Amino acid sequence: MKKKVVVIVGQTSTGKSALAIRVAKKFGGEIIIADSRQIYKGLDLGSGKTTKDEMKGVPHHLQDIADPMRHFSVFEYTKLAEEKIEEVLDRNKLPIIVGGTGFYVDALTRGTVLPRVPPNSQLRKKLKKKSAAELFAELKRIDPARAATIDAKNKVRLVRAIEIAGALGWVPKLRMGIPKFKFVKIGLTFPDRMLKKRIRARLRQRLRKGMAVELRRLHEEGVPWKRFEELGFDQRFIALYLQGKLTEKEIFPKLLQKNWQYAKRQFAWFKRDEEIKWFAPPQFPKIMDYLHEALS
């Protein structure tokens, strides 16, 4: 029988981390982060990381594992996460995957087999200059099968497809492998009104705690402003503020808007996964009952 792994997903500000810690306490678990920003060192308030204090002694894995200057990828993530799951299971503990990055969660829990082709920055730079139509034509030439299903207007995807095709000769069909574990997925969400309120409160708190100070320090340590644009919407707009391109008055509404847009995109992603058992609003006792049942 496959070992069970709990997965907690949901939008930003729904209380995933806090829930995970309580679940870990109750079932003897360890937490494995599934968040494309929290993997970066130094991006604490910026990515809404759980603090050492809040962790209450529960081990958290895959947090702070990458330098903010380098690009992390899903491929690396799935590899590391699987290793961690095994490790935790070996310790006879319950692995709890927690995060809001749907792509990471899916890649991990659906056993997606991703082609092993690392990014080729030189090639990307070259391809970036071409138009979507040109890129599409090029892909069609090297791999008509992939061209048939790809979004012909999405340059990012086209570049990656060409990159893979260039290395392997073609783009392997995405295979949904058989997951190695039995994932028990739960999703946290709130009605729009409530979620907006929570996002606002959380954002306020993060700003008050010094999200901008944190980013200024990161910049002083050598992270160029340009890189902030890639590190996420909060960091992008705060960087603009730190450079004087956005006033203090403009920043909050802008961040609020971006966070809300993000929350919606997150839900759009997660709701397609029929394995997720949703809790809206998330009520601790109900979730615990559900987990007791699912894990026994």
Partner RNA sequence: GCGUCGGUGGCAGAGUGGUCAAUUGCAAUUGGCUGUAAACCAAUCGCCUUCGGGCUACGGGGGUUCGAAUCCCUCCCGGCGCA
The pattern of x and - marking residues 184 through 223 that bind RNA according to CB under 7 A reads ----------------------------------------
CB of 143 to RNA, least distance (A): 9
What stretches of the chain adopt beta strand conformation (E)?
A: 4-10, 29-33, 60-61, 94-98, 112-113, 175-176, 182-188, 277-279
Q: Which listed range, 116-124, 179-187, 219-227, 244-252, lies at the site for RNA (CB under 7 A)?
A: 116-124
Does 48 help bind RNA (rule: CB under 7 A)?
yes
Among 27, 233, 252, 284, contact with RNA (rule: CB under 7 A): 233
Comparing CB distances to RNA, the nearer of 52 and 70 is: 70
Does 161 help bind RNA (rule: CB under 7 A)?
yes
Asked if 281 contacts 190 with a C-beta cutoff of 8 angstroms, the reply is: yes
Cβ-based burial of 99 (10 A; exposed 0-12, middle 13-18, buried ≥19): buried
141 Cβ contact partners less than 8 Å away, ≥ 6 residues apart:
none
Asked if 182 contacts 4 with a C-beta cutoff of 8 angstroms, the reply is: yes
**SS3 call for 111:** coil
HSE (CB half, 13 Å, CA atoms) of 91? 12
**31 closest CA partner among 100, 81, 102, 104:** 81
Q: Which listed range, 19-27, 44-52, 197-205, 281-289, lies at the site for RNA (CB under 7 A)?
A: 44-52
Q: Residue 66's CB: how many other CB atoms inside 10 A?
A: 19
Does 47 help bind RNA (rule: CB under 7 A)?
yes
CB of 40 to RNA, least distance (A): 9
Does 153 help bind RNA (rule: CB under 7 A)?
yes
Does 245 help bind RNA (rule: CB under 7 A)?
no
CB of 295 to RNA, least distance (A): 27
Q: Which listed range, 3-11, 181-189, 255-263, 287-295, lies at the site for RNA (CB under 7 A)?
A: 255-263
CB of 273 to RNA, least distance (A): 11
As a whole number of angstroms, the distance between CA 215 and CA 221 comes to: 10
As a whole number of angstroms, the distance between CA 280 and CA 239 comes to: 34
**SS3 call for 95:** strand
Does 260 help bind RNA (rule: CB under 7 A)?
yes
Q: Give me the amino acid identity at 125.
A: K
Task: Give the interface with RNA as residue ranges (CB under 7 A).
Answer: 35-38, 46-48, 71-76, 100-104, 114-119, 124, 146, 149-151, 153-157, 159-161, 164, 171-174, 230, 232-235, 257-258, 260-262, 264-266, 268-269, 272
